[in-house]
């Protein structure tokens, strides 16, 4: 396998996030059976349709999973590679006022409303029901900031929690975000073999439902790899918006197809449920592992918003270089 440069991993992670998100967008909340009956197997962009067939979201558009991640990218770059909750919050307020805000989940909306009212940016909202996977889906940029230097687990964990608490405060939501962040770091910094990724992540995070579901995913992944079995295993893991299910499902889809970006994201999306969020996480994992150059050209070209990501990826990499002390700006003498 050709070595993948850190810069290519950064870009691959963000592109993968957006691509998986956009592929899953039209079938968010659908069952496996409905997806199969309507589309067969989704491996290309489709629009979101209303009941009468009207296009409500164009093919190739990503949702809040990618939009919020890009708010974190901008904030990280502006803060020299460090988490700045206010910088994130200000961007989220603007996002909620624009067209991109239509995809925001109720918890994030409530958190943004609270920010506007109180001018505080660490008062995340706890879901009334099961913890969602929103933070896990958009935490990748924070993890990438630590990929070029030696990992300090305490600082890493603290920054993931600070980023998560901008919008969410449920312990399982934050633990799921830590699981995704650590997985991204392992793939970006350590180039860990995908076969051991899930057990390593489960051992790093707190012992709760997220860790237990990850262990189930690791066991099932040993017997996965073909389409029919993958869908059955993902049904057993669960593909709802509950963070324990969504994170485990995304990691399963990745590790069973770690050398094939398109197969990893298609497996995640066609499993149904929270298809855009699970697709986004699987895409981020596959993208950071394989790099941007391994992503099929058609999936990049068909992605709305790709031009912004193509600029954001290298910008985030430069911010990580500066934070790690590996990027010097040399100015010629006058």
Which two tokens mark 46?
């489709």
Within a domain: residue 104?
A: yes
Mean pLDDT, contiguous 10-residue spans, the chain (334 residues): 91 98 98 97 97 96 97 97 97 94 93 96 91 97 96 97 97 98 96 95 97 98 94 98 98 98 98 98 98 98 97 97 75 44
Q: What is the CATH number of the domain that holds 312?
A: 1.10.4080.10
Within a domain: residue 55?
A: no
CA distance 104 to 153: 30
- Residue of 309, 320, 319, 311 lying closest to 284 (CA atoms): 309
Name 242's bridge partners: 132
Angle at the Cα of 231 from the Cα atoms of 208 and 55, rounded to 5 degrees: 100
Q: Where are the alpha helices (DSSP H) in 126-190?
A: 134-138, 140-144, 153-164, 171-185
3-state helix/strand/coil string of 110-156: HHHHHHHHHCCCCCCECCCCCCECHHHHHCHHHHHCCCCCCCCHHHH
Number of domains composing the chain = 1
3-state secondary structure of 50: coil
Within a domain: residue 35?
A: yes
Which two tokens mark 60?
């190739």
CA distance 180 to 185: 9
Distances (CA, A) of 328 to 80, 148, 170, 318: 13, 14, 40, 10
Cβ atoms within 10 Å, residue 284: 38
> What pLDDT score does 190 carry?
83
Within a domain: residue 44?
A: no
CA distance 67 to 91: 10
* pLDDT tens per residue, range 221-232: 999 989 999 999
Host domain of residue 305: 6-39+61-323
Within a domain: residue 330?
A: no
Within a domain: residue 45?
A: no
CA 305, 94, 64, 144 torsion-angle sign: positive
* pLDDT tens per residue, range 104-131: 999 999 999 999 999 999 999 998 889 9
45 touches 114 (CB < 8 A): no
- Residue of 214, 286, 218 lying closest to 21 (CA atoms): 286
Within a domain: residue 54?
A: no
């Amino acid at each position: 396998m050709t070595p993948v440069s850190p810069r290519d991993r950064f870009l691959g992670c963000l592109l993968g996030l957006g691509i998986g998100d956009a592929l899953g967008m039209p079938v968010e909340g659908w069952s496996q059976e409905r997806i199969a009956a309507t589309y067969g197997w989704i491996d290309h962009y489709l629009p979101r349709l209303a009941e009468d067939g009207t296009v409500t979201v164009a093919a190739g558009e990503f949702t809040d999973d990618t939009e919020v991640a890009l708010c974190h990218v901008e904030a990280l770059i502006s803060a020299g590679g460090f988490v700045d909750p206010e910088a994130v919050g200000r961007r989220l307020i603007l996002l909620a006022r624009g067209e991109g805000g239509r995809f925001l989940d109720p918890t994030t909306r409530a958190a943004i409303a609270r920010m506007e009212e109180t001018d505080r940016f660490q008062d995340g909202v706890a879901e009334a029901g099961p913890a969602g996977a929103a933070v896990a889906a958009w935490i990748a940029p924070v993890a990438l900031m630590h990929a070029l230097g030696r990992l300090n687990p305490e600082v890493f964990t603290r920054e993931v929690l600070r980023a998560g608490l901008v919008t969410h405060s449920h312990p399982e939501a934050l633990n799921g975000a830590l699981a995704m962040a650590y997985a991204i770091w392992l793939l970006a910094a350590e180039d860990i073999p995908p076969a051991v990724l899930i057990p390593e992540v489960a051992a790093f995070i707190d012992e709760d439902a997220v860790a237990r579901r990850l262990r189930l995913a690791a066991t099932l992944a040993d017997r996965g790899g073909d389409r029919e079995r993958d869908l059955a295993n993902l049904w057993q893991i669960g593909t709802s918006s509950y963070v324990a299910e969504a994170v485990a499902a995304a990691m399963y889809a990745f590790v069973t197809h770690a050398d094939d970006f398109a197969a990893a994201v298609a497996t995640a999306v066609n499993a149904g449920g929270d298809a855009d969020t699970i697709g986004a996480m699987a895409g981020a994992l596959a993208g950071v592992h394989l790099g941007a150059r391994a992503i099929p050209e058609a999936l990049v070209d068909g992605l709305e918003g790709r031009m912004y990501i193509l600029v954001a990826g290298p910008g985030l990499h430069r911010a990580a270089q500066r934070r790690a002390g590996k990027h010097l700006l040399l100015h010629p003498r006058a």
